Amino acid sequence: MTPVAALERVVHCLDRAEQSGFKAKAFVRALDVVRSLPADELEHRAVAGTLTELDGIGDSSAKVIQQALAGGDVAYLIDLEATTGVPITDAGAVYRNALRGDLHLHSRWSDGAATVEQMARTAIDLGHEYIVLTDHSPRLTVAHGLSAERLQQQVAEVARLNEVLAPFRILTGIEVDILEDGTLDHGDDVLSQLDVVVASVHSKLRMPEGPMTERMVRAIENSHVDILGHCTGRMIGKRDPSTFDQDAVLAACAQHRTAVEINCRPERLDPPRAMLRAAIDHGCHFSIDSDAHATGQLEWQPKGCDRAAEVGVPLDRVLNSWPVDVLIRWVAGT
Ligand SMILES: [Zn+2]
Ligand SMILES: [Zn+2]
């Protein structure tokens, strides 16, 4: 294992275990340092014991680098592999085993930490047949949302990667912002070129119930929108769910074939159970998505699977349990 691969795997394991604080940041920093160094300098310093003289390399990362270079076991990584796996219930595992893909995730093109290829290769390792790349839209400037022009460049990169990674498929997509009036942050001309469109509310989450309902329903009605992302916008313990007419929103989702996302991010777990139960009754479809912003977060799907199992989401209504061709036909409305 190369030092870069070892450090990347450390960061992956910390991320999947929701330990993305100080420790993970230190390893990300070490990774940057190692990437920028000539290989012979790294080896020379490892032998001389001077790795920690480099700004950004601490005792822990130095040990990982040394052990990786020595070609033996990396003790810290072995420990992390054993202790950071994402738990899942037996009932949830039925859903997880049925999943063939992940329909909502981010890359470095917007605010993700990994390249598209890294996300795709991790998805392959997790047993997926496909992913949808859904970086942010332009309105979300803090997240480097993609203009139509950058999106076009991304679509070209996806086409290149698909040739390399076949039969795995990266579908093109976007997480498009639902603007205050319910229109979307890209026009029909742009959205019609993408395989899958996730639409989410990221701003003005505290709108009064009436306008918020109209806003969401208008987005759901848009024929390009396939999935309603993190429906209530809640952040557990930090931000209450938005207020809207739940039945009107779910009825629109069922009528216009817009799937209700079961967002697996631990701070979101959105929608809450009661809304999820109501969505089942309304006949909605679902997608169980990681909304990953790093490779380790692609392993968060068990959190949504447990929840789907708990409330009894019909598995045949989960879009990402379907073969890719069936999924593509469904989102295309044919
Ligand atoms: Zn979002
Ligand atoms: Zn997202």
Model pLDDT for residues 112-138, shown as the tens digit of each residue: 999 999 999 999 999 999 999 999 999
Give the number of other Cβ atoms within 10 Å of residue 239's Cβ.
14
Task: State in Å: Cα 260 to ligand 2 middle.
Answer: 14
Model pLDDT for residues 185-224, shown as the tens digit of each residue: 999 999 999 999 999 999 999 999 999 999 999 999 999 9
Task: State in Å: Cα 51 to ligand 1 middle.
Answer: 39
Task: State in Å: Cα 31 to ligand 1 middle.
Answer: 27
- What's the order of all strands across the beta sheet hosting 227-228? 101-102, 130-133, 169-177, 196-200, 227-228, 259-263, 286-289
Interhelix angle for 209-221 vs 246-255, to 10°?
Answer: 10
Task: State in Å: Cα 176 to ligand 1 middle.
Answer: 9
In this prediction, residues 154-172 reach a mean pLDDT of 98
Task: State in Å: Cα 162 to ligand 1 middle.
Answer: 25
Q: What is the pTM of this model?
A: 0.96
The per-residue b/e assignment along 166-197, b for 16 or more CB within 10 angstroms, e otherwise, is: eebbbbbbbbbbbbeebebbbeeebbeebbbb
Ligand closest to 270 (CA) is 1
Tokens at 155, concatenated: 């679509």
Please say if the pLDDT value at position 142 is more than 90: no
Ligand closest to 199 (CA) is 1
Task: State in Å: Cα 57 to ligand 1 middle.
Answer: 33
Q: If you average pLDDT over every residue of the chain, what do you get?
A: 97
Task: State in Å: Cα 136 to ligand 1 middle.
Answer: 8
Model pLDDT for residues 42-75, shown as the tens digit of each residue: 999 999 999 999 999 999 999 999 999 999 999 9
Model pLDDT for residues 281-305, shown as the tens digit of each residue: 999 999 999 999 999 999 999 999 9
Ligand closest to 106 (CA) is 2
Ligand closest to 185 (CA) is 1
Task: State in Å: Cα 94 to ligand 2 middle.
Answer: 25
Ion ligand 2: residue ranges with CB closer than 5 A: 175, 291
